Amino acid sequence: MASAYKSLSAKPKSNGQTRDAKSDTEKPKNRQRVLILSSRGVTFRHRHLLSDLHSLLPHSRKDAKLDTKTKLTQLNELADLYNCNNILFFEARKGKDLYLWLSKPPNGPTVKLHCQNVHTMEELNFTGNCLKGSRPVLSFDAAFDGAPHLRVLRELLTQCFGVPQGSRGVKPFVDHVVGFTVADGKVWIRCYQIAETEAGKVVRNADSPAEIVEAASAHRGETSVSLIEIGPRLVLTPIVILEGSFGGPVIYENKEFVSPNQIRSDLRRKKAGKYNRRAEGILDRKVKKRDLGLRTGEGTREVDELDDRVLFA
């Protein structure tokens, strides 16, 4: 029995040698899978955003819409069913507001963010392009090290957007950059293609063809690297961080965040206040005219000696 276990534990290599399964030299595999789905009520732009993220993340799985918006703990069971350890859940409210839930099931944490300024790949006709299935380079702003909640958010974004090397369908290329920048309390996400072009071989203001050939040979092999935007674009505002996966105590809350419902309500109240002041002004003018007897059949009007009713009586 021991010999059979030893023969099974020793796996042969491609060159005929054997290796021990408990070798300490082997690196632990980064097994990250992301479940991407949305709730009911998303718009066409939100659907295109989900498709763009699914195409940029080859280790992700796209699922159907979730019917409920209150029992979000069902997403933990759904992630366990599909063998995913990261969740990107887009929640739509009133057909216009979009919220993003970043979660690490089954133990958490969970971050709720408000999505604004969403622009998809096809919307702005970005000129950049990258190989489908390639791995990105994640670029984080130095401001992520300044606050504890930003460090937690950076770790969740790293595990969601960082494509593992050994994932299924991943190409062995790194040809685009995903940038995360913190500005005005929000996280700005941009995607760029890494474009490499050879240095120019034609030198202007040259007196002879020999100088052109000499200059071209001097710059041979040199390449210039530039970034071309691919898309999509979106801005995330952190709202709250929960200790568990879609539940648990609140470990961070953004006190400066104002709900879009509150903003729309304030705008409606402001417009209603203008109408109310205008209506009150009209009513005051009517009362004043009535008191002066300037309205026909309303109010009392004093009769003096020059009145028509006295002169032509």
> What value does the mean pLDDT take over residues 266-286?
83
Q: What is the pLDDT of residues 24-72, one digit of tens each?
A: 555 667 788 999 999 998 999 999 999 999 999 999 999 988 888 788 9
> What value does the mean pLDDT take over residues 226-235?
91
* pLDDT score, position 101: 94
| Tokens encoding 22 | 């408990």
Confidence of residue 200 (pLDDT cuts 50, 70, 90): low
- Is 117 among the domain residues? yes
Q: What is the pLDDT of residues 106-156, one digit of tens each?
A: 888 999 999 999 999 888 888 888 888 899 999 999 999 989 999 999 999
- Is 207 among the domain residues? no
- Is 49 among the domain residues? yes
Are residues 268 and 182 part of one domain?
A: no
Report how far apart the first and last C-alpha atoms of the chain are (Å, whole number).
136
* pLDDT score, position 179: 95
- Is 8 among the domain residues? no
Are residues 241 and 162 part of one domain?
A: yes
Are residues 62 and 189 part of one domain?
A: yes
Are residues 293 and 226 part of one domain?
A: no
- Is 175 among the domain residues? yes
What's 47's domain CATH number? 3.40.50.10480
Are residues 186 and 121 part of one domain?
A: yes
- Domain with 89, as residue range(s), is 34-202+221-257
- Is 154 among the domain residues? yes
Share of the chain above pLDDT 90, in %: 42
Residue 230 phi, psi (nearest 5): -105, -45
Are residues 264 and 140 part of one domain?
A: no
The count of other CB atoms within 10 Å of the CB of residue 188 is: 16
* pLDDT score, position 306: 75
Query: Which among 262, 232, 242 has a CA at the least distance from the CA of 93?
Result: 262
DSSP secondary structure letters along 64-123: PPBS-SS-TTHHHHHHHHTT-SEEEEEEEETTTEEEEEEE-TTT--EEEEEEEEEE-TTT
Are residues 242 and 107 part of one domain?
A: yes
> Residue 191: which H helix or E strand, with range?
strand 186-198
Are residues 293 and 227 part of one domain?
A: no
Res 23 pLDDT > 90: no
Number of domains within the chain: 2
* pLDDT score, position 214: 54
Residue 216 exposed, middle or buried by CB count within 10 Å (0-12, 13-18, 19+): middle
Are residues 186 and 271 part of one domain?
A: no
Cβ-based neighbours of 178, under 8 Å, separated by 6 or more: 56, 136, 137, 138, 139, 161, 189, 190, 191
Q: How far apart are CA 310 and CA 306, in angstroms?
A: 7
Are residues 263 and 251 part of one domain?
A: no
Which segment of 16-20, 41-45, 91-95 scores lowest on mean pLDDT? 16-20
- Is 5 among the domain residues? no
Are residues 73 and 189 part of one domain?
A: yes
* pLDDT score, position 203: 46
Res 85 pLDDT > 80: yes
Tell me which DSSP letter residue 192 carries: E
Are residues 158 and 56 part of one domain?
A: yes
Which amino acid, 234?
Answer: L
- Is 170 among the domain residues? yes
Give me the half-sphere count of Cα atoms (radius 13 Å) on the Cβ side of residue 187.
Answer: 25
